[in-house]
Chain A
Amino acid sequence: MTLDRRTFLGTTAAMATTLAAPMVLAQGAGKPRVVVIGGGAGGATAARYIAKDSDGAIDVTLVEPTRTYFTCFFSNLYLGGFKEISDIGHTYGNLAAAGINVLHDWAVDVDRDAKTVTLASGTTLPYDKLILSPGIDFVDGAVEGWSVEAQNAMPHAYKAGSQSELLRAQLEAMPEGGTFAMVAPPNPYRCPPGPYERVSMVAHFMKENNPTAKIIVADPKPQFSKMALFQEGWNKHYPGVIDWIGEEFGGGNVSVDPANMTVTIDGEETQVDVCNVIPAQKAGRIAEMAGVTDGNWAPVNPADMSARSDADVYVLGDAAEQGDMPKSGFSANSQAKVCANAVRGALTGSKVFPAKYSNTCWSLIATDDGVKVGATYEPTEEKIASVDSFISETGEDSALRKATYEESEGWYTGITTDMFG
């Protein structure tokens, strides 16, 4: 990390930046500057709300490498054939039109003393407030035998886009009666029900296209999100197809061999046709480079999502360690609004309202069989704490499940409009 270098270069770097600033940011001269890194559910929402609510009083720059952003939420529905890849792709034109300076670039360094962000193109962005919403990266060596170099043979598809399309192509190419394996991640990870919705969607795809195919899931956890609902749905829609191997049966003792397409679970090697490896996760790397992480995640203050280690840096979404909220797009969107309100208050003196957070996650098990789980949260001294929650029940009638699925589609349109304008 940059601690040493910052200490060493501190004064010089700060002076250099001061001199350079007018050239770099002539456009925003005089206005407070917010830089947002990451254009997903946390970052896009934060940028949009700050720009919208400050009505031009704050200069907002959004740094996001991809020109078309594919949402992880609903990417499983693409795998299952319920959505096209284009349905989950979004561009940033509306945010640009709303006055946000959208830079398609990678942030490669953060100097918190000089309060600058360096981009891969060489541009330096000064900030008054920095918002990091970089999503996840994978923990090196989390699954024996797997690394990102192997992600073409064994895709993670846990950052949506080309990886999702690759996994879908592999499902389509699977031989008749073949085997699909998933290596599920340990807690905490992005989208707790995600791997199990994916198993459902793969099973649905196979039921329609390759009905004798089998699914094996190696899971290091003893239980998982919405477990009773998923297992009920698997027995109902895909009886005998899914073999879930939890912690108790050695599901955490896994290695893979991408060259030979084998998976070894608790000492037993299996030849597979498609292998979806979802490794253990950590905050997107820029959070670590900014020096705001402690272990794998970035601890934040529950009241406003500011980093515990720096009041001028905020961390949103999956990368943040905040307490009880699951790592989800809905959570990130919720946190972004609290953060935007706080940032605006700090920079323009606008009224700051108390934080309220919420989350709802919908999952699709089969055609018209949707379930959901949700909770509301409030900040305490120690963490963002759950105050109320609900979950779909087993045995619900099909009309309610269909309504839940239709509701999830409404939510998708709602949240993506809320993110991208």
Chain B
Amino acid sequence: MTVGPRALPFALAAGVLPCVVTATLAEEADPEAGKKVFESCSDCHEVGKGAEHGIGPHLNGLFGRRAATQEGFAYSESFKRAGAGGLEWHADTLDVYLEKPTALVSGTRMSFDGLKDPQQRLDLIAYLRGFSDNPRDIPEADPTSQGTDHDLDPEILALKGDPEYGEYLSGECVACHQTGGANDGIPSIVQWPEEDFVVAMHAYKNKQRNHPVMQMVAGRLSDEEIAALAAYFGQLTKE
């Protein structure tokens, strides 16, 4: 997974002017700085290869996961309720949680007051995002958690895909990914935001994402073909 700097030119090209403070910060989230921030978490949480539950659960594969659903960890009742109620870990929910954990999960046992500095939260989230890429959750939930982790040529992102061509090409996708949007072991790609779709497919093509089938499928798709697929799946309706 790329954790390289996100290109400011892209934000401009896509018309997302960095006029809002958080958006500006998002452009500058630094996973390396986030690694430093994580040092204050690491007494209780492990992350990375071989990470296991400690005082807190390990944090691999966090993005897109329903809260309190990892096997082998005894969550607080409050966290179980939050998970049962639909709380999922995404960049936005993590940001809220990290700012003041009890604001989101009132009875959490995590003995941590929160990170007041929004920049530190963004850096930490960017760091954790790097451990949410594995073959079990393709396309990784939150492929582009906050902003987009990529250095794609803006011209590639600006391509307008032909949905009719995308529909034909989708024949290769829907042997596994269901057009109805169901997820029975292979994730849904229906209604995925076009830009995220394009970024993810190029990450497979460039072998930055690590699923062998997807690397192979994406590997022979042209920029136009990826845009066409993104356009097609973006406009499908879930059943």
Contact = CB atoms under 8 A, between A and B. Distances in A.
B213 A410 contact: no
A131 B65 CA distance: 45
A334 B171 contact: yes
B178 A414 contact: yes
Given A372-B213, A374-B216, A411-B176, A356 B169 contact: yes
B136 A360 contact: no
A208 interface: no
B86 interface: no
A410 B175 contact: no
Pick from B178, B185, B220 the residue with the most CB of A within 10 Å: B185
B110 interface: no
A376 B219 contact: yes
Nearest to A340: B171
Contacts of B220: 356, 376, 378, 387-388
B175 A330 contact: yes
Q: Which 5 A-B pairs have the closest CB atoms?
A: A410-B185, A410-B186, A337-B171, A413-B184, A390-B212
Contacts of A411: 175-176, 185-186
Nearest to A357: B172
Contacts of A11: none
Contacts of B6: none
B55 interface: no
Nearest to B134: A403
Find the residue from B134, B172, B215 having the highest chain A CB count within 10 A.
Answer: B172
A84 interface: no
A140 interface: no
Contact of B172 (A358, A390, A400, A406): A358
A358 B172 CA distance: 7
Contacts of A372: 212-213
Given A334-B171, A404-B135, 9 more contacts: A330-B175, A353-B168, A358-B175, A390-B216, A403-B135, A409-B184, A410-B176, A410-B184, A410-B186
B77 interface: no
Given A388-B216, A418-B174, A409 B169 contact: no
Nearest to A405: B185
Contacts, number: 91
Interface in A364-421: 372, 374-376, 378, 387-390, 399-400, 403-404, 406-411, 413-415, 417-418
Residues of A in contact with B, size category: 35 or more
A76 interface: no
B178 A417 contact: yes
B180 interface: yes
Contacts of A330: 175
A357 B226 CA distance: 16
A374 B176 contact: no
Contacts of A338: 171
Contacts of B84: none
Contacts of B217: 358, 376
Contacts of B97: none
Contacts of B167: 53
B170 to A, nearest CB: 9
Interface string A346-360: 000001010010101
Interface string A327-342: 0001001100110010
A417 B219 contact: no
A407 B169 contact: no
Interface string B117-141: 0000000000000000011100000
B182 interface: yes
A281 B174 CA distance: 29
Contact of B136 (A387, A390, A403, A409): A403
Interface in B132-177: 134-136, 164-165, 167-169, 171-172, 174-177
B216 A413 contact: no
B175 A418 contact: yes
A297 interface: no
A49 interface: yes
B157 to A, nearest CB: 23
Nearest to A41: B175
